Structure 1
């Protein structure tokens, strides 16, 4: 049998939910114009920076359209200059009575046509330049490329749904987890107080994989499951988290300051509620009713029934009974575990949150 001591310590109050690692941003890289892929400028699994070239589509057809639009602009600008010169002459002739009002109005209309044509030419040049820029497919975010889905030499179209590659941001990265709807007030209050620590916890061994912070609580409760989604952000500099990974998200809601605690293995459950085997100064045990707050992480918070310094049995309780010596308990005494004393308290929280 092992004996532990009730201690006074600060205990974090956790809320835990099953989480899924989700990219902070994920972009399907597709073409916005039709053409032949001349170059794939990335390798699969490569880290790329925003603005870095990923693929190049044959730009020659779009360059030709741009050159034609620029030539049309020059033509119309020359025509406008000539029309304005003639308009000036007509105005002088009409003032001196050597030209009709009709000729002057006709020339004004021609000048306006050239001006409108130049505006259209400038719009055509802008559209051609935009389409030409689309032949350079660049990374819209920092991230890591996935598998290449289209090879060089293939014809792609702006209307195609097929992506050339999927670009995923891994640093930073997020975890999304559902939490019970009853936890919404505590989550909201924690965020209102400031930074809320969130840990990514392995489902395999309970170890903390990464530390981050809670960033947002969803604005709606799922009526089908009665849960509320939360998102936590992680720097993920060591790439310990990977998109699609399934783990637990543990949120620290608050810290219970100066709480009386015992090892969670000391807590026993009987017909009357929770109790512990308290070890007296004479080393004899008594069944002591307790009220527990949170129980998790190997620690139980005791809200009533024990005081700091009290000794309790933390293992081998099956050998104990009230009045038995904790130092020299007979094996026969543990053939049956006695029920908890009448009126034993009930827990106020049986999990990590």
Structure 2
């Protein structure tokens, strides 16, 4: 029996409703599945851009840079004299005190000179006696000449008178020499300063016995303290540069105390005076001496110091901290430079000279900012967050180094 029309219409309506419900269910499932993936895509996009790296930077500067060599040296007196007695006697007076400054020719010691003065007077008396005898011989010689002229005596008598006169003259000259020797011996009883300088510790007192003995303990030492010299050695590899610099005129030097209260004081200026004429083959070094003004007596003989000698000056050199330089391989050197978009840019440089914690390089321009701190975490193109780096120059105090670094970094945030 065939179904009626109303029944078929109601069946069709039921099918359409079922299909609509199924489509809604699939759409809901699709929306539910799509929602988590869409939510996860936003963090994925954020993770693709790395965060900026915090780095310390300084500005590349351009300046005249002195090229120097440093060496350890010892302060030595230009002149130093050990005073010893030249006669055997006792000390009568000590006219100098420990540590006193003396002038050349100043009287320092007097010895007991009574015996020497007696010998001098004896020599003078002998001279007076022989001069009187010489005068008598001169008169005899003149009379002999007159008698010979009148033929009263023979020629041999005149010759005898002349010989006696010449012997008397020789005896007088001998006596004069004896007087001079006695005067010299007497002068040994006064000991004067042969140079100007500072006296050390006096080792004798009034009444002490002194002897003319080269091995005896010196009475005192005198050392010249102004000007003063410093002796130091440099490697023979620097000899060519050192000689070339000395040919150009006076070579400046600086003395830098390394111990005591003088540490941190301003360097003392001087000049190189001599380069030794041979290289020590056992150590491969050559000796050099420099002379310094020492009116304030800031340097003392035997003191250990550092000496800096300026060989030449690099004009308008490009200077960066050595800490900014990255070693790549055996010869290649590079630095990270801050690009205009605040990202890291790797630039190859050539190191011309290293000066303490600074380096003179080619390949950079003044005003560029180079990364000093944090470069180990960088790659080319890494976004940067900048701050001023503290770079201490060689020999500079920490406070001044911080100020210099802040000034060099300019407007770095």
Alignment TM class, shorter chain as reference: 0.7 to 0.9
**SS of equivalent residue, structure 1 residue 327:** strand
Alpha-carbon distance in 1 for matches of 2:386, 2:182: 93
Q: Is the 8 A contact 2:108 2:193 kept in 1?
A: yes
How far the C-alpha of 1:295 sits from its partner, in A, is: 1.7
Alignment partner, residue 224 of structure 2: 169
2:253 is aligned with 1:198: yes
Alignment partner, residue 8 of structure 1: 62
Alpha-carbon distance in 1 for matches of 2:225, 2:63: 38
Would the alpha carbon gap of residues 208 and 275 (structure 1) be closer, same or farther in structure 2, given more than 3 Å must change?
A: farther
Note the alpha carbon deviations across 1:231-252, whole angstroms, 9 max, x for none.
1111111111111111211000
Alpha-carbon distance in 2 for matches of 1:219, 1:64: 52
Alignment partner, residue 303 of structure 2: 245
Q: Is the 8 A contact 1:178 1:227 kept in 2?
A: yes
Alpha-carbon distance in 2 for matches of 1:280, 1:27: 67
Alignment partner, residue 50 of structure 1: 104
- Bigger helix share: 2
Alpha-carbon distance in 2 for matches of 1:214, 1:38: 45
Aligned length: 328
Instruction: From 294, 305, 309, give the equivalent of 2:353.
Output: 294
Alignment partner, residue 108 of structure 1: 162
Gaps of 5+ in 1: 330-353
Note the alpha carbon deviations across 1:108-127, whole angstroms, 9 max, x for none.
11101110011111111221
Alpha-carbon distance in 2 for matches of 1:94, 1:135: 53
Once structures 1 and 2 are overlaid, which stretch shifts more, 195-204 or 112-121? 195-204
Q: Is the 8 A contact 2:67 2:355 kept in 1?
A: no
Instruction: From 217, 220, 237, give the equivalent of 2:275.
Output: 217
2:184 is aligned with 1:130: yes
**SS of equivalent residue, structure 1 residue 28:** strand
Q: Within 5 Å, which residues of 2 pair with 1:264-275? A: 264-272=322-330, 273-275=332-334
Alignment partner, residue 67 of structure 1: 121
2:141 is aligned with 1:77: no
2:367 is aligned with 1:313: no
Alignment partner, residue 316 of structure 2: 258
Query: RMSD of the alignment, in Å?
Result: 1.9
Alpha-carbon distance in 2 for matches of 1:207, 1:33: 47
Note the alpha carbon deviations across 1:42-82, whole angstroms, 9 max, x for none.
11111111111111111222222221111111111111111
2:288 is aligned with 1:230: yes
Note the alpha carbon deviations across 1:79-105, whole angstroms, 9 max, x for none.
111111111112222222322333222
Q: Is the 8 A contact 1:199 1:208 kept in 2?
A: no
Alignment partner, residue 338 of structure 2: 279
**SS of equivalent residue, structure 1 residue 71:** helix
Q: Is the 8 A contact 2:56 2:386 kept in 1?
A: no
Alignment partner, residue 242 of structure 2: 187
**SS of equivalent residue, structure 1 residue 98:** coil
Alpha-carbon distance in 2 for matches of 1:264, 1:53: 59
Q: Is the 8 A contact 1:13 1:253 kept in 2?
A: yes
Given the two structures, how large is their TM-score scaled by the length of structure 2?
0.75
Alignment partner, residue 351 of structure 1: none
Q: Is the 8 A contact 1:202 1:208 kept in 2?
A: no
Would the alpha carbon gap of residues 262 and 156 (structure 1) be closer, same or farther in structure 2, given more than 3 Å must change?
A: same
**SS of equivalent residue, structure 1 residue 198:** strand
Could you list the runs of 4 or more consecutive aligned residues of structure 1 that deviate by over 4 angstroms after TM superposition?
A: 204-208
Alignment partner, residue 385 of structure 2: 327
Q: Is the 8 A contact 2:344 2:383 kept in 1?
A: yes
